[in-house]
Every structure is written in structure tokens, then in C-alpha cells.
Structure 1
Amino acid sequence: MRYAVAACSMFWLLCAAPPARAAQQTLGDYTDEKQWPDTPAAQRARELLEVINARDASRAARFVNDRFSVRMRESAPMEQHISILSGLADVTGGLEFYGARRYDPPRPPGEIVVIVREKLTERWRGILLAVEDEPPHRIIGLSLAPARAPKDAPVPPPLDEPGLVAEARAFVERLGAADVFSGAVLLARNGRVLMTHACGEAVKGHNVPVRLDTRFNLGSMNKMFTAVAVAQLAERGRLSLDDPVSKYLDADWLPREAAEKIRVRDLLGHTSGLGSYFNEPFMASARQRFRELADYKPLVAGEALQFEPGSSWSYSNTGFLLAGVVIERAAGQGYDDYIRENIYKPAGMVHSDCYDMDRPVPNVAVGYSRAPERFGTTWECNLFKHVIRGGPAGGGFSTVEDLLRFDQALRGGKLVSAATLAQLWTPTPQSQGGYGLGFGIEQAPGEKIVGHGGGFPGISAALDMYLEGGWTVVVLSNYDQVAATVTEKLRELIARVR
């Protein structure tokens, strides 16, 4: 699943994969002019496209220094600006200008929406750019997001299942051939596997190929397992979703006043008001310090609430870490042991677990991020960036086949009841329809899609479960960002099946 990321930095605006749905619904009718307007915003957008397509780090640095406002320039380290601007063409094949989009009602002066098409993926994208009112009209806002197709674009024909599989396979193979995708993909319907594909290298330098049973880091997808585990314990009478977390947490985890306000369901629904333990102390610490849940106490203790619990929504890794502590207290056993016995084992997930990454683990993919250099692009591995051992909030490993087994175990009632699933898969009011309890939720025409994504440098993962049509899409990659590219394409193709 994909979630909007609100941040001022160029890095997050361009890297995030926000759903265009909400923005599109409020933008109104539109027309596309296929010539560049004679405006300062259009001039900056044209220069931006030239810089992106040049794939030149030094040119990107000059553009940031000369064309960004001070606030934009200082919103992220220069290397992040350069990485995005000079690397975007590598993952898209370059951006082709289509036109300047005008809306009814019009956008404010000083803004422009430019419609482009990615050469490699053929996806439509909108570049929203805003400039200062006064010369030299530096850039003060910039984002890249999915866009509605131009009105004169050909309407794709309907597909049958074989046609869907053929187009899906060709798309993933094209990404793999361009070294934009490394990983595994699985497409199934009603539990019947229609397509699998594996490509790329699990470990660069040793030329270890990706296989269908390669274990990939899931990022935040572990949150689904944590939510289901909590729901199981609620069904068994070991806890209530409406219990205050003070019932399960010692005072050295959270101040008592905060713990008494937060309910267990707030941890699962991102309504606790807590933030993320991926904070400055974590980033400055040796990863070996954090293996067991209790090891994270110094990163969490004393954390201030961002809002009154239950009153708003904010994505929280700390919340899910504490949900793991709740599981340990309620179940009377370690988090990993409980998940193995009550999630993985009944689901038949034989290649899934949280591993100590400083010890030998067979058939595990190492994550990689593109790192632009003066004379091209190299790769950085994420072994020294991510957690040394996964846990309730993320960082475990699995395979595409195991995640299909998880999907089928959920739908088949092996893990929790249908009534409990309905709770997990019902969006909370605070999330504005986008998140339930441990699961992301998206509505498409005639379809409800639930699941979760995961992302970090060198980690890109997604599970989409189509509740009406019975489709299952699993994408696991050891490259950044690309899982959303594949799941988005598969959504387009599935929507064409008649």
C-alpha cells in the first residue's frame, strides 16, 4: 500500500509515492496545452526537466544552488537533492514533456503542473512546481506524483487473464533489464498463482542471483503480523483493544500519564500520538545495541505525545514497537516466538522470520541504493543503516510465496475470525479512510484493497490483497521505491480484466 508523505524536503517530495486519488478529486476538470507557457514557473519547470534527463550530478548541484530558494535548498542535505535529480532518469528512463495542465478552477499564480511520461514505465506523472513572486523566481515548492492520463490518450483495451499475465511479465522484465528492479513478483487470483518472476542480484559483488524463494527485508510489512497477533490475543481473552497500554508497559517505557491515555488499538491504528524510534540517538548508535525489544527503551522513554491519543493520525514506528511489548506481556512469551508459533506456523510460512543480520542467514537479499558519483552511479548496501534484527514495527524477512500463504491464511480464517478481520480492515476515521489496524486500505472502483508496504534505503516491498476480485499481488525488492511502481502497473492491468 502507498501512503502520502508530508515533508518540506525535496528528497521526500520526490521519493514518496503518494496516491493521487485525493489530489485528483479536488483538482477538477483540466485541459493540457502542449506548448510551454511563457511564465517564470514554466521556465523553471523546463530547466528542471533538462537537469533530470541529463543524469549529471554536477549539473544537478548547480541547479539546486541557483534555482532553489534557501528554504528548499536547506530542507535536505545537498547529496540528497543531487541523488534525486541526477538519479530520477535512471529509474524512469527519462521524462518526456507532454503539456502544461490547466485546471478549472485554476491553480494559484506562480504555480504550474507539467504532465510528463516516464519513458521506461510509460506512467503519467505530474510535476507541481511553485516559484517566488519576485525575480529571480526561485523554486519554493516541488513534487512529483501520479497524474490522470491526458484526455486524448488512447484507452487501453480490455484484458483476459492470459493477456494480463503477458503484459505484467513484460513490464517486470523491462524493469529488470534496465536494472531498475531487482526482486521477486507474484500474482495470484483466489489463491491460484498466475505469474511469478525473479530477477536481479540478491548480493552484488558475489553475483548471487535472486530466486523465487529469496528472503527479502519487508520493512514495515511486519506491522501486519503484529496487528494480527494482537487481534488473536484479544480473541483469546488475553487482552482488549480498549485496554490502556499502562496495563502492559512498565513506567520506564512511557510516562504513566501518557500510557494511561493510549489504548492498545491506538498503537495499531497510528492514533497514539507517538513518533518513531528511528531518531537521532538511533542513527548515532551502533546497530548491535538493539536486538531485543527492551533494548529500545532508551530511544522511547520520555517521548512526548504529538497529540491527544485517539484524536488524530500519524504514522508511528514506536507505536508498533510497543504493540510488540504488549504481545510479550499478554502472551507470556517473546515476540518472535509468538509470531513463529501463531502466525508463521499455521500459515505455512516456512521462509519467514526476524534474523540477526551479523550472523549467517541462507538465501537473504542485501538491500542496495543508487549512489550517484561524479562519473556515474554506484551502489550502497544498507547493512549498516537498517536494524540489525527486525521486530514488531518492521525489518523481518519473507518471500513472495510465504506472503501469499499469509494472504490465504487470513482469508481462510486460519489466523483470526472474519469478524476480527473486518475490524482490522475497517479504516479509522482519523486516517481519513487510508488505514485500519495494522493494514493499509485503498478503495478502487468496485474494489477494496488491503495490505501494507515497506520502504527504507534498499528495501521496497508491498502486499496488495483485493477483497472483491480475489487478486493477490506481492512485490519484494532489494532496491528503493520500485515496489510501488510494479503494484501500480498491476492495478492498472487488473482494472482492465473483463
Structure 2
Amino acid sequence: MGWIVAVLSLFISTAALAQPALPATPSGKVLAELLDALNSGDPAKVEAFDRTYRPRDPIAGMGALREQTGGFELMKVERSDATTLVAILREKAGDRFARLELALSADAEPGLVRFQLDPIMPPAGLGARRLPLADALAALVKRQDEAAASDKFSGAVLVAKNGKVVLEQAWGLADRERKLPVTVDTKFRIGSMNKMFTAVAALQLVEAGKLGLDAPIGTYLPDYPNKDIAEKVTVRHLLTHTGGTGDVFGPEFDRNRLKLQTIDDYMALYNKRAPLFAPGTGQSYSNYGFILLGALIEKASGMSYDDYVRKNVFEAAGMASTGSLPESEMVSGRSVGYINQGGKLVPNTGTLPWRGTPAGGGYSTVGDLWRFAEALQSGKLISKTMLDQATSTQFQMFGLGFAVVGEGNWKGFGHNGGAPGMSGDLHVFPRLGYVLVSLSNLDPPASTRPLEFIEARLPEEAR
């Protein structure tokens, strides 16, 4: 089971615009056929396109791209001639934009020699206007009603402004077999969102003088077997994913999924590996790095990771519905996660780790995650000075355990979590006073879509 790299999406949706005409050129013809094949959802059409234009190098992942995006609308042709074309596309299922570049060979029957699709921020003039708060919330509810009716969303969404919840609503089924509806108190698996709790716990111990941000982990784990990691990887490296400590998911995890029950179990399996790169010289999202942070928290606090986080994060923030109990234990109100397999939703039971870890896999509610954000901003968990550091860019898009994106009033922080049958997002915009939470028991990006939608429409009124 893989965790999605954390990111706060700040894409702005488009207003309804007439679709521009494609140029009457070979490149325009190819783009028309490409969009028709992709948007149809018909594998036969995709195969026919590949046979015609990419017979030796079919475009990979067209079906998955259609599933994720709902297909694309053409918004603007930026540049074109007979053999090249650059166009702006918008997802049909959401509010994201992409730039497509394609190039054809100069043959009598041209082939597609270049195909590149990159996400972009929305171009000027293609964004939706911001709405009064009540209107933005009403638009979100309408959008979610439609998504739930078409089985594209099952979960809960919370929107808060200046410490007050202004929307908290649920859609869909928490357990399809028993026909149990989702409520705002439903517990959802949150994937990598656990990393925020681990980061806060580690930073508490830094502020207490029990861990050093720039101390190598061997200071606290002297018997760690790989010396390059023990002597060169620091707490800061782990929090910013710059230690080169690698992942835990893959064939070894799959073989040992139910045997990996403690932090020590994970370390025994992975602690002999060398770093992927010289620590501090690059960045690669590392679940194992957060397992190591869990080990450091245990060593520095003298408590188990779960006991420390329960007392110093969950209880301190008033989070009574958040935890990481094993899957073998009955957790009241915990939803069943569902994977889309060939258009059929099936439980994700066979993909789940034995229990949640410092890297991910716990469960929470939209209300608890809002309470976490409020406690964090009020100074109940770490000092405001430390929070400023944790939510300021340290390396690329990461602070200390938090994703950091945006600018101006829309500079925000948070984290997401995603894996088969689970999707969660927390977005915090301190200058505007917004806290946005979305949790779902469906595949990503189910939880991301509603937050992209509402972020595009919320009024930009500072505190």
C-alpha cells in the first residue's frame, strides 16, 4: 500500500466557457482524436489511436488517467502549426488544469512523437469568481450531492472560518454491506496524515531539549546498524524527507504485511539499507523516515509512540476519535474502505497494514482534524515560533513534517493521505482563518476534489 505524497492543491476552477475550435491542421486532428479516445473511456478507441499514431510506443496509463480526471475539456490553444500543438486542458471531474504538448513526425502519415501532459495553475481569465461564503458553501453541497449520487464521493467535509465550523456534512455509505451511512462522526483511515502527529510529537521533544533538530539519529539510536544513516541523517532530514531513507512499501512489505506490528519490526526489516543519496542533497518522500522518527520519539520520551502521541497530541487537542489501533480490533464507527476494481467497489481489507504507524495508517474524523488544526495554531501543541518554522518551506514543498504551498493570503499548510480505499486532506490557511478537512473511504483523489472546489470559491477576506 503506497501513501500519496502530501500536497495542498490550490487549483482554481473554470467558469463555463465555449470550447475553442481546434485548428484545421494535422496536429489539430490528432488532438481531436486523442481527446475523443481518452474521454470515451473505451479501451478499443484508445488502442485504435495508439495503432494509428503510436504503434511502437503506446501512451501508457490512458485508462487510469480517464478514471482520475473524468477526461479533459479543451480550454485554449496556445500555439500550433502543422506538426506541433500546445493546448490548455481542464479536467472534467475537477478543477485542475494541464498543459498538453504534442508533436508529430513529418511523414505522409504522421506519428505522435511527443506527448507531454503537465499540471499547471489556472491561466488568467479561466478561473471561477469568488463567492460570498454562504454561496460558496451552497455550491459545494450541490457539487457533493451530485458526486455522491454518481458514487464518486463517500465521506465527510468540514469547513471552518476563524475558529467556527460553518459546514460539516456527510455523504454516502460507511459500510456498503450493512448499508450504514457516513455521518460527521464516522472514523476514516487517514493514511499519511499520521505524519503530522509524528512531526508534532518530535517537535515537542525538540522544544523540551530531548531531541536536536540537527543531531544525527545515531545520537539517540547508537546501535543503528547502517552507519551512513546513523551518522549523517538528522531529525530535520527525516521531517523534510531529505535523508534518503527510502520507503517501506513494496515486495518486502507485501510479504510481511501482517508481521510488521511494531516500530522495531519495521526497523529490523529495513535498518541495514544505505541511504538512497547523500543526506541533505535531495528529497524523496520517505515513509521509513517517519518510522525512524517514531523510534526517536520512543527513545527520547521513554514512552511507546502510541502512548506519547495519545497523551501529548490527541488528548491535548481534544481528539477523542483518533487513533491507530490494530485492524484486528473493533473500532466503533470506523468505516470500511473501498477500492475500485474494474468499476466495482470492493473492501480494501487485504491491503491494510496490521495497524497504524508513525508514517500513516491511523484513523480520525473531520471534527478531530479540525480540533488538531485549532490546537496547533493556538499554541497548545507546540509554540507558535516552532509552528512558524514547521510550516515554512524548508526544502521544496515541505516544512518540518507539513506540506507548505501557495503564496500571499493563500499560503497554507497541511497534509494529505491516500492509499487504496482511503483518501484524506487537511488544508489550513492561517491568514484567511480557513481550516478545510475532507475524508473519504474511496480511492484518491476523492477527498481532494471537494477542497479544490471550495478553495476556488471561498471569499478572500483576511482575519
Q: What TM-score, normalized by structure 1, do the two folds share? A: 0.82
Deviation at 1:314, TM superposition (A): 1.9
Q: 1:400 maps to what in 2?
A: 366
Please list every run of 5 or more consecutive structure 1 residues that lacks an aligned counterpart in the other structure.
6-15, 22-31, 76-80
What does residue range 133-172 of structure 1 map to in structure 2 within 5 Å?
Answer: 133=105, 136-138=110-112, 140-143=114-117, 145-146=119-120, 148-149=122-123, 151=125, 156-172=128-144
**Given the alignment, which residue of 106, 110, 113 partners 2:86?**
113
Mapped to 2, the partners of 1:388 and 1:139 lie a distance apart of: 46
What SS does the aligned partner of 2:349 have? coil
- Match of 2:289? 319
**Residue 17 of structure 2 is aligned to residue 37 of structure 1:** no
Counterpart in the other structure of 2:177: 205
Instruction: State the one-letter code of the partner of 1:100.
Output: V
How big is each residue's C-alpha offset from its partner over 1:344-368, in whole Å with a ceiling of 9 and x where there is no partner?
0110100000121133222112222
Q: Which residue of 1 aligns with 2:206?
A: 234
Distance 1:143 1:19 in 2: 17
Superposition pairs for residues 273-284 of structure 1, below 5 Å? 273-283=244-254
Distance 1:426 1:120, change over 3 A: closer
Does the aligned pair in 2 maintain the 1:4–1:19 contact within 8 Å?
Answer: no
Identify the match of residue 422 of structure 1 among 388, 391, 396. 388
| Shift in CA distance, 337/233, structure 1 to aligned 2, threshold 3 Å | same
Checking the alignment, whether the CA contact within 8 Å between 2:287 and 2:359 is kept in structure 1 is: yes
Q: Deviations over 1:88-111 (max 9, x none)?
A: 5xx63x533344233xxx99x965
Q: Distance in 2 between matches of 1:362 and 1:232?
A: 30
Which has the higher mean CA deviation after the structures are superposed, 168-177 or 395-404? Answer: 168-177
* Aligned residue identity for 2:292: L
Query: Could you say if the C-alpha distance between residues 66 and 173 of structure 1 is closer, same or farther in structure 2, counting changes exceeding 3 Å?
Result: same
Q: Distance in 2 between matches of 1:295 and 1:483?
A: 31
Aligned partner of 2:15 in structure 1 is none
Letter in 2 for 1:95: F
Aligned to 1:437: 400
Confirm or deny: 8 A CA contact 1:277 1:299 kept in the other structure: no
Cα deviation for residue 483 of structure 1 reads 2.0
Give how far 1:71 is off.
Answer: 5.7
> CA–CA distance in 2 between the matches of 1:316 and 1:438?
11
Correspondence 1:67-216 to 2 at 5 A: 67-68=53-54, 81=61, 83-85=63-65, 87-88=67-68, 92=70, 94-102=71-79, 112-119=85-92, 121=94, 123=95, 125-131=97-103, 133=105, 136-138=110-112, 140-143=114-117, 145-146=119-120, 148-149=122-123, 151=125, 156-216=128-188
1:328 aligns with 2:294: no
Question: Once superposed, which parts of structure 1, at least 4 consecutive aligned residues long, lie more than 6 Å away?
Answer: none
- Quote the Cα distance in structure 1 between the aligned partners of 2:57 and 2:264: 39
Structure 1 residue corresponding to 2:226, chosen from 255, 258, 264: 255
CA RMSD, Structure 1 to Structure 2 (Å): 3.0
Structure 2 counterpart of 1:353, which letter? G
Distance 1:338 1:120, change over 3 A: same
SS of 2:136's equivalent in the other structure is helix
2:302, 2:22 → 1: CA distance? 65
TM-score by length of 2: 0.88
2:349 aligned residue: 383
Q: Aligned partners of 2:347, 2:283: CA distance in 1, in Å?
A: 32
Give the one of 310, 318, 328 matched to 1:358: 328
Corresponding residue of 2:427: 464
Q: Which has the higher contact order (CA 8 A, sep 6+)?
A: 2
What's the CA shift string for 1:405-445, capped at 9, x where partnerless? 101111111111111111211211x32xx210000111234
Counterparts of 1:17 and 1:62, CA distance in 2: 36
- Say if 1:40 and 1:131, in contact at 8 Å, map to a contact too: no
Q: Is contact 1:130–1:139 with CA below 8 Å preserved after alignment?
A: yes
Aligned counterparts of 2:334 and 2:113: Cα–Cα separation in 1: 42
Same amino acid, percent of matched pairs: 34
Query: Which residue identity is paired with 1:143?
Result: L
Letter in 2 for 1:45: L
Structure 1 position 67, deviation (Å): 4.7
Q: Distance in 2 between matches of 1:145 and 1:427?
A: 21
Report the residue type matching 1:200 in the other structure: G
Which ranges in structure 2 are unaligned for 5 or more consecutive residues? 12-17
Please list the CA deviations of residues 265-296 of structure 1 after superposition, one character each: whole Å capped at 9, or x if unmatched: 1100111122111122113x142111111111
Count of matched residue pairs? 451
Over 3 Å counting, the alpha-carbon distance change for 1:296 and 1:111 in structure 2 is farther
Bigger drift between 457-466 and 294-303 goes to: 294-303
Q: Aligned in 2, Cα 1:162/1:111: closer, same or farther, shift over 3 Å?
A: same
Q: Write the deviation string for residues 58-115 of structure 1: whole angstroms up to 9, x where unpaired.
A: 4445555665575665x6xxxxx36415535xx63x533344233xxx99x9654333
Which residue does the alignment assign to 2:14?
Answer: none
2:191 paired residue number: 219
2:314 is matched with which residue?
344
Q: Is the 8 A contact 1:220 1:453 kept in 2?
A: yes
